[in-house]
Amino acid sequence: MKCTKGVIQLDRFEVPYRRYGNSKNLFVCVSGALQTMAIWRTVVKRFASDFTVVIFDMPGIGRSRILSGGAHVTVQEQLETLNALINETHPGGEVTLAGSSWGTAIAAAYAALRPEAVQHLMLCSFGLKPNAAMERLVARATGLFEAGNFAAGSDLILEVFGNNVSGSYKRQIAAQFRALTREQAESFNEHCVNILKLGQLNDVVDLSKITARTVIVNGTEDPIIDLDDMQLAKALIPNCELRLIEGVGHFLHFEKPELVDDYAEFIMPPSPEPNSDFSTAISTA
Protein backbone atom coordinates (compact mmCIF):
# COMPACT_ATOMS: atom_id res chain seq x y z
CA MET A 1 0.00 0.00 0.00
CA LYS A 2 1.52 3.32 -1.07
CA CYS A 3 2.21 5.73 1.79
CA THR A 4 3.12 9.39 1.51
CA LYS A 5 4.85 10.79 4.58
CA GLY A 6 4.60 14.46 5.49
CA VAL A 7 5.16 16.92 8.31
CA ILE A 8 3.17 20.04 9.15
CA GLN A 9 4.98 22.95 10.78
CA LEU A 10 2.37 24.72 12.89
CA ASP A 11 3.38 27.49 15.28
CA ARG A 12 5.19 25.67 18.09
CA PHE A 13 4.54 22.15 16.80
CA GLU A 14 5.89 19.74 14.24
CA VAL A 15 3.18 17.24 13.33
CA PRO A 16 3.93 14.11 11.27
CA TYR A 17 1.26 12.49 9.15
CA ARG A 18 0.81 9.57 6.78
CA ARG A 19 -1.40 9.64 3.68
CA TYR A 20 -2.74 6.52 1.95
CA GLY A 21 -4.83 6.18 -1.22
CA ASN A 22 -5.66 8.68 -3.94
CA SER A 23 -9.42 9.23 -3.78
CA LYS A 24 -10.88 12.73 -3.97
CA ASN A 25 -12.72 11.92 -0.71
CA LEU A 26 -10.73 12.45 2.49
CA PHE A 27 -10.89 10.24 5.59
CA VAL A 28 -9.06 11.75 8.61
CA CYS A 29 -8.48 9.74 11.79
CA VAL A 30 -8.21 11.64 15.10
CA SER A 31 -6.60 9.64 17.90
CA GLY A 32 -7.33 9.75 21.61
CA ALA A 33 -5.09 10.79 24.49
CA LEU A 34 -1.64 9.20 24.26
CA GLN A 35 -2.74 7.23 21.18
CA THR A 36 -0.41 7.35 18.19
CA MET A 37 -1.41 7.05 14.56
CA ALA A 38 -0.64 3.33 14.79
CA ILE A 39 -4.07 2.62 16.31
CA TRP A 40 -5.62 3.16 12.87
CA ARG A 41 -3.68 0.48 10.94
CA THR A 42 -6.68 -1.80 10.39
CA VAL A 43 -8.84 1.19 9.43
CA VAL A 44 -6.23 2.32 6.88
CA LYS A 45 -6.08 -1.17 5.41
CA ARG A 46 -9.87 -1.32 5.10
CA PHE A 47 -10.50 2.13 3.61
CA ALA A 48 -7.44 3.23 1.63
CA SER A 49 -8.84 1.76 -1.58
CA ASP A 50 -11.93 4.00 -1.34
CA PHE A 51 -10.60 7.15 0.36
CA THR A 52 -7.51 9.21 0.83
CA VAL A 53 -6.88 8.16 4.44
CA VAL A 54 -4.80 10.43 6.67
CA ILE A 55 -3.45 9.52 10.10
CA PHE A 56 -1.25 11.69 12.31
CA ASP A 57 0.26 12.16 15.76
CA MET A 58 -1.33 15.01 17.69
CA PRO A 59 1.20 17.45 19.27
CA GLY A 60 2.86 15.90 22.30
CA ILE A 61 2.17 12.34 21.12
CA GLY A 62 4.31 9.79 19.28
CA ARG A 63 6.67 11.27 16.67
CA SER A 64 5.29 14.81 16.93
CA ARG A 65 7.49 17.51 18.44
CA ILE A 66 6.78 20.49 20.66
CA LEU A 67 9.31 23.07 19.48
CA SER A 68 8.66 25.71 22.12
CA GLY A 69 6.47 26.44 25.13
CA GLY A 70 5.07 24.07 27.72
CA ALA A 71 4.10 20.43 27.44
CA HIS A 72 0.37 21.06 27.66
CA VAL A 73 -1.48 21.19 24.32
CA THR A 74 -4.75 23.10 24.53
CA VAL A 75 -8.02 22.12 22.90
CA GLN A 76 -7.71 25.16 20.63
CA GLU A 77 -4.25 24.03 19.53
CA GLN A 78 -5.58 20.54 18.79
CA LEU A 79 -8.40 22.02 16.69
CA GLU A 80 -5.92 24.22 14.82
CA THR A 81 -3.74 21.18 14.16
CA LEU A 82 -6.69 19.25 12.72
CA ASN A 83 -7.69 22.21 10.55
CA ALA A 84 -4.16 22.61 9.19
CA LEU A 85 -3.96 18.89 8.44
CA ILE A 86 -7.25 18.91 6.52
CA ASN A 87 -6.16 21.98 4.55
CA GLU A 88 -2.83 20.30 3.74
CA THR A 89 -4.23 16.96 2.57
CA HIS A 90 -7.76 17.63 1.26
CA PRO A 91 -8.00 16.39 -2.34
CA GLY A 92 -11.24 18.24 -3.01
CA GLY A 93 -14.06 15.78 -2.29
CA GLU A 94 -16.10 15.03 0.81
CA VAL A 95 -14.50 14.87 4.24
CA THR A 96 -15.06 12.12 6.81
CA LEU A 97 -13.72 12.54 10.34
CA ALA A 98 -13.27 9.46 12.51
CA GLY A 99 -12.39 10.02 16.17
CA SER A 100 -11.36 7.60 18.89
CA SER A 101 -11.85 8.30 22.61
CA TRP A 102 -10.72 11.90 23.31
CA GLY A 103 -10.28 12.30 19.55
CA THR A 104 -14.08 12.20 19.29
CA ALA A 105 -14.33 15.43 21.29
CA ILE A 106 -11.90 17.15 18.92
CA ALA A 107 -13.63 15.73 15.82
CA ALA A 108 -17.11 16.70 17.08
CA ALA A 109 -15.98 20.19 18.07
CA TYR A 110 -14.37 20.72 14.66
CA ALA A 111 -17.52 19.52 12.87
CA ALA A 112 -19.60 21.95 14.97
CA LEU A 113 -17.26 24.89 14.36
CA ARG A 114 -16.78 24.11 10.65
CA PRO A 115 -20.03 22.36 9.62
CA GLU A 116 -19.50 23.13 5.95
CA ALA A 117 -16.15 21.31 6.00
CA VAL A 118 -17.29 17.88 7.28
CA GLN A 119 -19.82 15.63 5.53
CA HIS A 120 -19.50 12.43 7.60
CA LEU A 121 -18.56 12.01 11.26
CA MET A 122 -17.78 8.75 13.07
CA LEU A 123 -17.34 8.99 16.85
CA CYS A 124 -15.89 5.85 18.41
CA SER A 125 -16.12 5.69 22.23
CA PHE A 126 -17.81 9.07 22.52
CA GLY A 127 -19.20 10.62 25.69
CA LEU A 128 -20.18 14.12 26.75
CA LYS A 129 -18.74 14.14 30.25
CA PRO A 130 -16.42 12.16 32.53
CA ASN A 131 -18.37 9.73 34.71
CA ALA A 132 -17.45 8.62 38.24
CA ALA A 133 -15.25 5.80 36.92
CA MET A 134 -13.31 8.29 34.79
CA GLU A 135 -12.84 10.59 37.77
CA ARG A 136 -11.40 7.72 39.84
CA LEU A 137 -9.12 6.73 36.95
CA VAL A 138 -7.72 10.26 36.62
CA ALA A 139 -7.14 10.51 40.37
CA ARG A 140 -5.15 7.27 40.36
CA ALA A 141 -3.22 8.28 37.24
CA THR A 142 -2.29 11.61 38.84
CA GLY A 143 -0.97 9.76 41.88
CA LEU A 144 1.29 7.65 39.67
CA PHE A 145 2.53 10.73 37.84
CA GLU A 146 3.33 12.58 41.06
CA ALA A 147 5.23 9.52 42.28
CA GLY A 148 7.21 9.44 39.02
CA ASN A 149 5.97 5.92 38.30
CA PHE A 150 5.06 6.45 34.65
CA ALA A 151 5.43 2.81 33.61
CA ALA A 152 2.72 1.74 36.07
CA GLY A 153 0.23 3.70 34.00
CA SER A 154 -0.05 0.76 31.64
CA ASP A 155 -1.14 -1.51 34.50
CA LEU A 156 -3.84 1.01 35.38
CA ILE A 157 -5.06 1.33 31.79
CA LEU A 158 -5.18 -2.44 31.35
CA GLU A 159 -6.93 -2.93 34.69
CA VAL A 160 -9.73 -0.58 33.64
CA PHE A 161 -9.92 -1.22 29.89
CA GLY A 162 -7.90 -4.31 29.08
CA ASN A 163 -10.25 -7.25 29.62
CA ASN A 164 -10.94 -7.82 25.93
CA VAL A 165 -7.78 -6.63 24.19
CA SER A 166 -5.22 -8.97 22.67
CA GLY A 167 -1.90 -9.83 24.26
CA SER A 168 0.00 -8.01 21.53
CA TYR A 169 -1.92 -4.77 22.13
CA LYS A 170 -1.36 -5.10 25.88
CA ARG A 171 2.37 -5.36 25.21
CA GLN A 172 2.20 -2.26 23.00
CA ILE A 173 0.53 -0.28 25.77
CA ALA A 174 3.11 -1.45 28.33
CA ALA A 175 5.99 -0.55 26.02
CA GLN A 176 4.52 2.88 25.34
CA PHE A 177 4.27 3.74 29.03
CA ARG A 178 7.77 2.44 29.75
CA ALA A 179 9.13 4.75 27.06
CA LEU A 180 7.35 7.90 28.29
CA THR A 181 9.56 10.90 28.91
CA ARG A 182 8.73 13.16 31.82
CA GLU A 183 7.51 15.79 29.35
CA GLN A 184 5.15 13.33 27.69
CA ALA A 185 3.91 12.05 31.07
CA GLU A 186 3.31 15.63 32.22
CA SER A 187 1.39 16.41 29.04
CA PHE A 188 -0.76 13.30 29.45
CA ASN A 189 -1.45 14.05 33.12
CA GLU A 190 -2.41 17.66 32.39
CA HIS A 191 -4.66 16.46 29.60
CA CYS A 192 -6.49 14.04 31.92
CA VAL A 193 -6.94 16.68 34.63
CA ASN A 194 -8.24 19.18 32.07
CA ILE A 195 -10.82 16.67 30.81
CA LEU A 196 -12.36 16.80 34.28
CA LYS A 197 -12.19 20.60 34.34
CA LEU A 198 -13.85 20.80 30.92
CA GLY A 199 -16.98 19.20 32.34
CA GLN A 200 -19.78 18.53 29.87
CA LEU A 201 -18.77 18.88 26.23
CA ASN A 202 -22.13 20.29 25.12
CA ASP A 203 -21.69 23.18 27.57
CA VAL A 204 -18.73 24.46 25.54
CA VAL A 205 -19.52 23.11 22.05
CA ASP A 206 -22.87 23.61 20.29
CA LEU A 207 -23.34 20.11 18.90
CA SER A 208 -26.56 21.16 17.19
CA LYS A 209 -24.39 23.01 14.64
CA ILE A 210 -23.09 19.71 13.26
CA THR A 211 -24.54 19.04 9.82
CA ALA A 212 -22.46 15.94 9.02
CA ARG A 213 -24.11 12.56 8.82
CA THR A 214 -23.00 11.14 12.19
CA VAL A 215 -22.70 7.81 13.92
CA ILE A 216 -21.67 7.16 17.52
CA VAL A 217 -20.12 3.70 17.98
CA ASN A 218 -19.74 2.70 21.63
CA GLY A 219 -19.15 -0.56 23.45
CA THR A 220 -21.66 -1.73 26.04
CA GLU A 221 -18.77 -2.70 28.35
CA ASP A 222 -17.03 0.68 28.24
CA PRO A 223 -16.64 1.66 31.93
CA ILE A 224 -16.17 5.41 31.41
CA ILE A 225 -19.20 6.22 29.24
CA ASP A 226 -22.72 5.89 30.65
CA LEU A 227 -25.70 4.87 28.52
CA ASP A 228 -27.73 7.99 29.31
CA ASP A 229 -24.75 10.10 28.24
CA MET A 230 -24.60 8.30 24.89
CA GLN A 231 -28.33 8.82 24.34
CA LEU A 232 -28.10 12.52 25.18
CA ALA A 233 -25.25 12.91 22.68
CA LYS A 234 -27.37 11.25 20.01
CA ALA A 235 -30.26 13.61 20.76
CA LEU A 236 -28.08 16.72 20.61
CA ILE A 237 -26.44 15.97 17.26
CA PRO A 238 -28.79 16.27 14.24
CA ASN A 239 -28.82 13.38 11.77
CA CYS A 240 -27.10 11.07 14.25
CA GLU A 241 -27.41 7.37 15.02
CA LEU A 242 -26.06 5.42 17.97
CA ARG A 243 -24.66 1.92 17.58
CA LEU A 244 -23.96 -0.04 20.76
CA ILE A 245 -21.66 -3.02 20.34
CA GLU A 246 -22.38 -5.84 22.78
CA GLY A 247 -19.50 -7.28 24.78
CA VAL A 248 -16.99 -4.63 23.67
CA GLY A 249 -15.29 -2.00 25.80
CA HIS A 250 -13.46 1.26 25.16
CA PHE A 251 -10.99 -0.03 22.54
CA LEU A 252 -13.63 -1.16 20.03
CA HIS A 253 -11.90 -2.50 16.87
CA PHE A 254 -8.86 -3.53 18.93
CA GLU A 255 -11.16 -5.80 20.88
CA LYS A 256 -13.30 -6.82 17.90
CA PRO A 257 -11.36 -6.32 14.63
CA GLU A 258 -14.36 -7.12 12.45
CA LEU A 259 -15.90 -3.84 13.65
CA VAL A 260 -14.14 -2.12 10.75
CA ASP A 261 -16.75 -3.71 8.50
CA ASP A 262 -19.45 -2.05 10.63
CA TYR A 263 -17.63 1.25 10.17
CA ALA A 264 -17.68 0.62 6.42
CA GLU A 265 -21.43 -0.01 6.49
CA PHE A 266 -21.90 3.50 7.84
CA ILE A 267 -19.26 5.29 5.81
CA MET A 268 -20.12 3.59 2.52
CA PRO A 269 -23.88 2.92 2.65
CA PRO A 270 -25.33 0.89 -0.21
CA SER A 271 -26.72 2.84 -3.14
CA PRO A 272 -30.53 2.92 -3.27
CA GLU A 273 -32.34 0.94 -5.93
CA PRO A 274 -33.18 2.98 -9.04
CA ASN A 275 -36.53 4.79 -8.78
CA SER A 276 -36.76 3.94 -5.10
CA ASP A 277 -39.09 6.13 -3.06
CA PHE A 278 -36.43 6.14 -0.37
CA SER A 279 -33.59 7.50 -2.54
CA THR A 280 -33.69 10.99 -1.12
CA ALA A 281 -33.95 9.82 2.48
CA ILE A 282 -31.00 7.45 2.13
CA SER A 283 -28.79 9.97 0.40
CA THR A 284 -29.31 12.52 3.17
CA ALA A 285 -29.50 10.17 6.16
Half-sphere exposure of 133 (CA within 13 A, CB side): 13
Q: Average pLDDT for residues 205-232, to the nearest whole number?
A: 96
pLDDT at 284: 33
Rounded distance between C-alpha atoms, residue 213 and residue 282, angstroms? 11
* Residue 57 clears pLDDT 80, i.e. is over it: yes
**What's the CATH number where 274 sits?**
3.40.50.1820
- 170 sits in which H/E element: helix 167-178
Using CB atoms within 10 Å of the CB of residue 172, give its burial: 0 to 12 exposed, 13 to 18 middle, 19+ buried.
middle
Q: Which of 10, 6, 198 is nearest to 102 (CA)?
A: 198
pLDDT tens profile 61-70: 889 999 999 8
pLDDT tens profile 78-129: 999 999 999 999 999 999 999 999 999 999 999 999 999 999 999 999 999 9
pLDDT at 187: 83
pLDDT tens profile 132-157: 999 999 999 999 999 999 999 999 99
Domain count, the chain: 1
Mean pLDDT of the chain: 90
State how beta strands 213-219 and 240-245 pair.
parallel
pTM for the model: 0.90
Domain of residue 252 covers: 3-284
* Residue 198 clears pLDDT 90, i.e. is over it: no
Sequence letter at residue 91? P
* Residue 276 clears pLDDT 60, i.e. is over it: no
Rounded distance between C-alpha atoms, residue 200 and residue 110, angstroms? 16
pLDDT at 98: 98
Residue 285: band (very low, low, confident or very high) from pLDDT cuts 50, 70, 90: very low
Classify each residue of 135-145 as buried b or exposed e, where b means 16 or more C-beta atoms within 10 Å of its C-beta.
eebbeebeebb
DSSP letter at 102? H
Residues 6+ apart with CB under 8 A from 125: 32, 100, 101, 104, 217, 218, 219, 222, 225, 250, 251, 252
